[in-house]
Amino acid sequence: MTLLARTFQGFNQWVLREVSEQCFEPITPRPQALSPLFKLDDEFLHIGEQWPFLLHFLYDAKAHWIEQHAQPLISGIWLEDCQGKEIALEASALYVDGESLLIVHEIERKYGETAYRLQSSRDHLLVEEELEREVARRTRQIIAREEQISLCLLAAAGCRDEETGAHIRRIGLYSAVMAEALGWGIDQVDHIRMAAPMHDIGKIGIPDYILQKPGALENDERSLMETHAAIGASMLSDTGIEMMDMARDIAQCHHERWDGSGYPKGLRGEEIPIAARITAIVDIYDALVHKRVYKPAYSEEKTYDIMSSMSGSHLDPRLFELFQQNLAQIQAIRQQVQD
Amino acid sequence: MIQKKICLLGAFSVGKTSLIKRYVDSIFEEKYLTTVGVKIDKKLVEIERQKVMMMIWDLAGEDDFCKLQVSYLRGASGYILVGDPTRPHTLDRLFCLHKKAQKNIGNIPAIIALNKHDLCNQWSLSFAHREELEELQQPILNTSAKTGDQVQSLFIDLATQMLSN
């Protein structure tokens, strides 16, 4: 046995020469580890369907040999069942001194190392994923709890006028539908769902005789009533919380109008924060389709007609168009969220 | 006897090997053992009075560092895309692998296994994922290698599709 042959055998490598289609002649002795797996037929190895992976590799090996590449083409690791045990193998194809060579390696050690490395990294990734899921789950719980507390407080504040808990929840949900339709990210959608219900929080600072007055307000009373926007904005300022900043903008600007005729600042068009423009639309819708002390509940048709006449003057026309496109979802919320 | 090659594709730890073990050997092991390289199992089935030898190629799951060697798909008559809805990002990998398979071996029969159905209370598929799954226009089965639920159907339905293709 040549030194080279012994070396190959020592590394559990078996070198074969292609003699014809799928037929190979060993040129080094078959390593012990491969003996039970590969039986020779008249001193030749015929690679057929019994070794589907190797047969598959021969297709690529053929092209490699035709192009006479001396550098090896590696098959990648595969496993064969042998006497109830799995054997890890790898094959290489190369062209040397006019011969098409196939080397079959038994790679127990390499396989063990690769498997250990891969298993460790994937176990680590799975633990990371699990932790991320747990953080996300708990964050959702915290957000839901905060939202619930905020809705309870808003409902309590709303007891002084006719704002009901359901109205407050609906405003948040309608606004979230609009934000989703605008393609906002999930965080921003969450923010507006929580921020929009706070639009009238400043009414807490308005005296009862104005807030609960059944008839029309006098000019001075109206001026006082309009301060609820500034009061709300002031209450929601300087928290350092992104969602609360959005709530502040909404409280301050939800009575601004697209044409600049609103209050408190007379902002026009896109000077008005978009969250406030959205809230203005859904607040008007909800007020129109529900009964108030000064009006009955209007039908969807009448509401639509009134709001259409406000589009472009009071309401942002582009957002109103989006509102119309998503009206089915808005109406579903209206039906589902009742007092 | 007809011989057909099928491949199982998916992200790592979605249960490809477990589905094969359940189908071929009727066993399930709880512990996750990553697949390295390729393991081919055989199963003889009879479909519409035809004996079919299914050559089931279990390919190592994909992650960012370990990519599918597309040459392994050559000669496949069908493939199973496996996702784990308890880990929704595995669906993104499933969509990528479907595209990769279509690009390399064309439109051959495929079937989607949403695995770990025994943990369906922990599934968190987004609306977008559900829409994207529907857009693939491939049969979808909710499988569980643990309970064996729908595993037989998964392989038989694919084999039936392959025979009629």
Give residue B5's pLDDT.
97
Q: What is the pLDDT averaged over residues A20-40?
A: 90
Is B38 an 8 Å CB contact of chain A? yes
Give residue A1's pLDDT.
45
d(C-alpha A16, C-alpha A3), whole Å: 16
Q: What is the CATH number of the domain that holds B148?
A: 3.40.50.300
Q: Amino acid letter at A176?
A: A
Torsion of CA A118, A119, A124, A130, to 10 degrees: 120
Tell me: the pLDDT tens digits for A112-164?
A: 999 999 999 999 999 999 999 999 889 989 988 888 888 877 877 777 666 67
d(C-alpha B9, C-alpha B19), whole Å: 12
Give residue A147's pLDDT.
82
Answer whether A78 sits within 8 Å of B3, measured CB to CB. Answer: no
CA atoms within 13 A on the CB side of B118: 10
Is residue A3 pLDDT above 80, yes or no? Answer: no
Is residue B139 pLDDT above 60, yes or no? Answer: yes
Per-residue confidence band for A10, with pLDDT thresholds at 50, 70 and 90: low
Nearest chain B Cα distance for residue A185, angstroms: 14
Domain around B67: 2-164
Is B75 an 8 Å CB contact of chain A? yes
Compute the Cα dihedral for B127, B129, B131, B134 and give only its sign: negative
Is residue A4 pLDDT above 70, yes or no? Answer: no
d(C-alpha B10, C-alpha B96), whole Å: 9
Is B39 an 8 Å CB contact of chain A? yes
Give residue B82's pLDDT.
98
Q: What is the pLDDT averaged over residues B9-20?
A: 96
Return the HEC string of chain B: CEEEEEEEEEECCCCHHHHHHHHHHCCCCCCCCCCCCEEEEEEEEEECCEEEEEEEEEECCECCCCCCCHHHHCCCCEEEEEECCCCCHHHHHHHHHHHHHHHHHCCCCEEEEECCHHHHHHCCCCHHHHHHHHHCCCCEEECCCCCCCCHHHHHHHHHHHHHHC
Angle, alpha carbons A286-A290-A294 (nearest 5°): 110
Structural domains of chain A in order of their starting residue, each with its CATH number: 3-106 (3.30.450), 120-336 (1.10.3210.10)
A30 or A259, which is more confident:
A259
Per-residue confidence band for A9, with pLDDT thresholds at 50, 70 and 90: low
Tell me: the pLDDT tens digits for B32-79?
A: 999 999 999 999 999 988 999 999 999 999 888 788 899 999 999 999
Per-residue confidence band for A179, with pLDDT thresholds at 50, 70 and 90: very high
Give residue A197's pLDDT.
93
E-strand ranges in chain A read 13-20, 23-26, 45-46, 73-74, 78-82, 85-96, 99-106
Tokens of B128: 């977008």
Give residue A43's pLDDT.
87
Give residue A94's pLDDT.
95
Is residue A77 pLDDT above 50, yes or no? Answer: yes
Residues ≥6 apart with Cβ < 8 Å to A190:
A143, A176, A243
Interface A:B, Cβ pairs < 8 A: 50
Of the listed A62, A85, A203, A302, which one is catalytic? A203
Query: Which chain A residue is nearest to residue B31, measuring alpha carbons?
Result: A123
A295 is annotated as an active-site residue: no
Q: What is the pLDDT averaged over residues A267-291?
A: 96
Give residue A252's pLDDT.
97
Per-residue confidence band for B20, with pLDDT thresholds at 50, 70 and 90: very high
Going by C-alpha positions, the residue among A27, A26, A35, A29 that lies closest to residue A6 is A29
Nearest chain A Cα distance for residue B33, angstroms: 7
Domains in chain B: how many in total?
Answer: 1
Answer whether A79 sits within 8 Å of B34, measured CB to CB. Answer: no
B155 or A166, which is more confident:
B155
Answer whether B36 sits within 8 Å of A77, measured CB to CB. Answer: yes
Answer whether A78 sits within 8 Å of B37, measured CB to CB. Answer: yes
Is B67 an 8 Å CB contact of chain A? no
Residues ≥6 apart with Cβ < 8 Å to B27:
B21
- Cα–Cα distance list, A281 to A84, A300, A315, B3, B108 (Å): 72, 14, 7, 64, 51
Q: Are A179 and A189 in contact (CB under 8 A)?
A: yes
Q: Looking at beta carbons, which residues of chain A come within 8 Å of B2?
A: none
Is residue A243 pLDDT above 80, yes or no? Answer: yes
Compute the Cα dihedral for A291, A296, A300, A305 and give only its sign: negative
Helix (H, G, I), strand (E, B) or coil at A94: strand
Give residue B92's pLDDT.
95
Nearest chain A Cα distance for residue B48, angstroms: 24
- Cα–Cα distance list, A187 to A32, A238, A243 (Å): 62, 20, 9
Compute how many other C-beta atoms are within 10 angstroms of the C-beta atom of residue B78. Answer: 23
Q: What is the pLDDT averaged over residues A196-220?
A: 89
Answer whether B3 sits within 8 Å of A118, measured CB to CB. Answer: no
Tokens of A128: 């990371």
